[in-house]
Amino acid sequence: MEKVIAPVLYAPRKIRAETFPTPSPGEREALVRMLGAAICGTDKHVFQEGEIRLGLPGDVVSLPIILGHENLAVIEKIGKRAAGEMVTEGQPLEEGERVVVSADIVCRECYYCKNFYGYPWCLNHRSYGDVISCKDPPHLFGGYAEKMFVLPGTFIFRVPKRMSDAAAVLTEQMAVAYGAFGRAFQNPNSKEGYSPSDTVVVQGVGPLGMCNVLMAKMLGASKIIAIDRSEFRLRLAKRLAGARTINLDDYPKQEERVDAVMHMTDGIGADTVVECTGFPGIVPEGLDLMRNGGTYLVEGAYAEDKPTTISPSRQILAKNARIIGVSGMPYQAYARALTMMDSFSSTIPFEKLVTHVFGQEEAQEAVETSMGMDSMKVVVGRMKA
Ligand SMILES: [Zn+2]
Ligand SMILES: [Zn+2]
Q: Is residue 221 part of a domain?
A: yes
The predicted structure's pLDDT at residue 58:
67
Task: Give the span between the Cα atoms of 57 and 384, in whole angstroms.
Answer: 37
Residues 185 and 299 in one domain: yes
Q: Is residue 335 part of a domain?
A: no
Q: Is residue 354 part of a domain?
A: yes
Q: Is residue 31 part of a domain?
A: yes
The predicted structure's pLDDT at residue 55:
64
CA of 358 to the centre of ligand 1 (A): 18
Domain, as residue range, for 281: 173-325
Residues 57 and 203 in one domain: no
Residues 184 and 158 in one domain: no
Q: Is residue 302 part of a domain?
A: yes
Q: Which ligand is nearest to the CA of 302?
A: 1
The CATH number that applies at residue 253 is: 3.40.50.720
CA of 277 to the centre of ligand 1 (A): 13
Residues 178 and 314 in one domain: yes
Q: Is residue 331 part of a domain?
A: no
| Count of C-beta atoms within a 10 Å radius of residue 330 | 18
The CATH number that applies at residue 366 is: 3.90.180.10
CA of 69 to the centre of ligand 1 (A): 6
Residues 158 and 179 in one domain: no
pTM above 0.85?
Answer: yes
Residues 250 and 356 in one domain: no
Q: Which ligand is nearest to the CA of 118?
A: 2
Are 326 and 338 a contacting pair, CB within 8 Å? no
Residues 79 and 206 in one domain: no
Residues 206 and 267 in one domain: yes
Query: What is the total count of domains within the chain?
Result: 2
Residues 145 and 242 in one domain: no
Residues 206 and 315 in one domain: yes
The predicted structure's pLDDT at residue 56:
66
Are 54 and 46 a contacting pair, CB within 8 Å? yes
Q: Which ligand is nearest to the CA of 54?
A: 1
Which among 325, 353, 373 is the end of a domain? 325
CA of 327 to the centre of ligand 2 (A): 15
Protein residues placing their CB within 5 Å of the ion ligand 1 = 40, 70
Are 254 and 281 a contacting pair, CB within 8 Å? no
Residues 214 and 311 in one domain: yes
pLDDT of the chain along its 385 residues, tens only?
689 999 999 999 999 999 999 999 999 999 999 999 999 988 998 999 887 776 666 677 889 999 999 999 999 999 999 999 999 999 999 999 999 999 999 888 999 889 988 776 888 888 999 889 999 999 999 999 999 999 999 999 999 999 999 999 999 999 999 999 999 999 888 889 999 999 999 999 999 999 999 999 999 999 999 999 999 999 999 999 999 999 999 999 999 999 999 999 999 999 999 999 989 999 999 999 999 999 999 998 877 778 899 999 999 999 999 999 998 898 999 999 999 999 999 999 999 999 999 999 999 999 999 999 889 999 999 998 7
Are 193 and 62 a contacting pair, CB within 8 Å? no
> Residue 126: CB partners within 8 Å, gap ≥ 6?
104, 105, 132, 151
Q: Is residue 269 part of a domain?
A: yes
Q: Which ligand is nearest to the CA of 370?
A: 1
The predicted structure's pLDDT at residue 165:
98
The predicted structure's pLDDT at residue 62:
85
The predicted structure's pLDDT at residue 258:
98
Residues 149 and 178 in one domain: no
CA of 337 to the centre of ligand 1 (A): 14
